[in-house]
Amino acid sequence: MHHSKFVAVAAAILLTFVTGDVAAQATGGVFGPVVNEGHRSMQYRTAYDPDSYGFAQRLHYQQSIDSRFMWRVIAQARKTDRSDLDYDFVQGELFWDLTDAKQPWQTGFRFDVRIPDEGRPAILGANWMNQLALSDDWNARFNVLTAFEVGSDARDGVLIQTRANLWKSLPNRYNYGIELFSVYGGTSDIVGFDDDQHAIGPFMTVPLSDRWSMFAGALFALDGDASDSNLRLWITRNF
């Protein structure tokens, strides 16, 4: 099939699944289900909100257990009224790849445990990951994120988000694409479409060397104040 047909299909997928609240300084990404045996990497992420001057940064370390499972730990800090570098949360994650390599549709789950700063409830998460090869160089991902708050001041119900992206692979490990983020609130208090928050924006990944790469992107609010934006930069080191 021609690339234009694949782009049309992928765009339909994104528009079908996107409806939801996007926090400022969003350092999260649209994560994929594929686990490569022997993988080890570190990643530094930063996000900046020009409207509020908000700034967050976090550090990842991830390592595969085998061809099906991978673990990851995250530590995040953010700018607050108290400090420019205040503790935000630590998080542990377990990826579970359910499909064989090289299948056009890859799927799996990621399980999370987050311990935030004092005064906020802990979070347990279960997330469904999907990746679809639309052609030799076009791919799409779609995530469904669910979370349960635990502890004092925990909200009732299941918190739900979706994330999706579409990207084109270029020669020499360059990629560019578009991503969409949505948050729906909790199942105990589902809001209407007009009260949901959505963000969309472009991104690009650039190889810096054989082991180093960079992701740069921006997210822009689709509702509320149209000037809301979020600038994002990631640096990854593979071992």
What are the sequence ranges of the domains in the chain? 3-238
How far is 31 from 15, CA to CA, in rounded Å? Answer: 18
Tell me what pLDDT residue 13 has. Answer: 43
pLDDT digits (tens, 9 = 90+) for 105-151: 999 999 999 999 888 999 999 999 999 999 999 999 999 999 999 98
DSSP per-residue string spanning 138-159:
EEEEEEEEEEEEESTTPPSS-E
Tell me what pLDDT residue 142 has. Answer: 98
Prediction pTM value: 0.86
Tell me what pLDDT residue 224 has. Answer: 57
Tell me what pLDDT residue 10 has. Answer: 46
Helices (H), the chain: 3-17
Tell me what pLDDT residue 174 has. Answer: 96
Tell me what pLDDT residue 19 has. Answer: 36
Element (H, E) at 104: none
Give the class (CATH, top level) of 3-238.
Answer: mainly beta
Closest CA to 112 of 64, 158, 145, 86: 145
Closest CA to 88 of 63, 114, 108: 114
Mean pLDDT, 10 residues at a time, the chain of 239 residues: 46 41 72 96 95 92 98 94 88 97 94 93 97 96 96 88 97 95 81 69 97 96 70 97
Tell me what pLDDT residue 152 has. Answer: 83
